[in-house]
A and B are shown apart, each in its own frame.
Chain A
Amino acid sequence: MDLLLDLLSWLTIGIGMVFLFAGGIGLLRMPDFYTRCHAAGITDTGAMLLLIVGLMFQAGLSFVTVKLALIMIFLLFTSPTATHALAQAAYTGGMRPESAQDETDPLEEAGS
């Protein structure tokens, strides 16, 4: 049983490390701001979930797991909120995606 838990924990933490590296390299190499948001979102949710679930496998059923679950739920609420607010602030500030074809404002069109 312990071996199984250790293996599961290794597996989730290993996949989480792959996600971390992919997101970090993407954050450094993506061409414009909105694509970098995508790379940052991967490390903020995917890698975070996998790492914390791996730590939970190590902690077993105890109060530590409850704290880890609290951290996980809190980060799941806050980091998408922060990314959304950031992208909205950048859009309001006049930044457009690099691949945008036309100059019309999608926010205006959706509102009318």
Chain B
Amino acid sequence: MFAAASAALLATMAFALTRAFLGPTIYDRILAVNVFGTKTVLIIAVIGFLMGRPDFLDVALVYALINFIGVLTALKVFKYRDLGTAGPAPKEGGS
């Protein structure tokens, strides 16, 4: 059961990687990398059960944190072209 689940997870990760390579825009690539990250968390948990060592769950938890921060940082760079800004200036008509 766990082996089948990890095979399905690997297939989905392969799909996501293909989209990350094909992706016409940068947002498609970030979306695919985000999906790849969450699937990595799941596959670490499932492989922990497959090996009979659920201690791997700590690694999965840390990976979930790192993945979230990484995606938001990449988004901030592409939205504001700068990591240092606190956000957009107050709106003066149009974005």
A and B from one complex: yes
Residues of A within 8 A of B (CB): 9-10, 13, 16-17, 20-21, 23-25, 27-28, 33, 36-37, 40, 43-44, 47-48, 51-52, 54-55, 58-59, 64, 67-68, 70-71, 74-75, 78-79, 81-83, 85-86, 89-90, 92-93, 95, 107-108
B42 and A33 contacting across the interface, CB-CB below 8 Å: no
A78 and B45 contacting across the interface, CB-CB below 8 Å: no
CA distance A40 to B28 in the complex (A): 10
B38 and A79 contacting across the interface, CB-CB below 8 Å: yes
B1 and A43 contacting across the interface, CB-CB below 8 Å: no
- Chain B at the A interface: mostly helix, strand, loop or mixed? helix
A92 and B95 contacting across the interface, CB-CB below 8 Å: yes
Residues of B within 8 A of A (CB): 1, 4-5, 8-9, 11-12, 14-16, 18-19, 25, 27-28, 30-32, 34-35, 38-39, 41-42, 45-46, 49, 54, 57-58, 60-61, 64-65, 68, 71-72, 75, 78-79, 94-95
Cβ–Cβ < 8 Å partners of A9 in chain B? 1
CA distance A85 to B27 in the complex (A): 11
User: What's the nearest-Cβ distance from chain B to residue A36, in Å?
Assistant: 6
Cβ–Cβ < 8 Å partners of B18 in chain A? 28
User: What's the nearest-Cβ distance from chain A to residue B45, in Å?
Assistant: 6
B12 and A43 contacting across the interface, CB-CB below 8 Å: yes
A86 and B9 contacting across the interface, CB-CB below 8 Å: no
CA distance A70 to B11 in the complex (A): 26
A78's contact among B9, B35, B64, by CB below 8 Å, is which?
Answer: B64
Which 10 pairs of residues, A with B, have the shortest CB-CB distance?
Answer: A24-B15, A24-B12, A17-B8, A78-B68, A67-B57, A90-B27, A89-B79, A64-B54, A20-B12, A40-B35
CA distance A36 to B35 in the complex (A): 11
* A-B contact list, 25 entries, CB within 8 Å: A13-B5, A17-B8, A20-B12, A20-B39, A21-B11, A24-B12, A27-B31, A28-B18, A40-B35, A43-B12, A43-B38, A43-B39, A44-B34, A48-B38, A52-B45, A54-B5, A55-B45, A70-B61, A74-B61, A74-B65, A78-B64, A81-B68, A85-B75, A89-B75, A93-B79
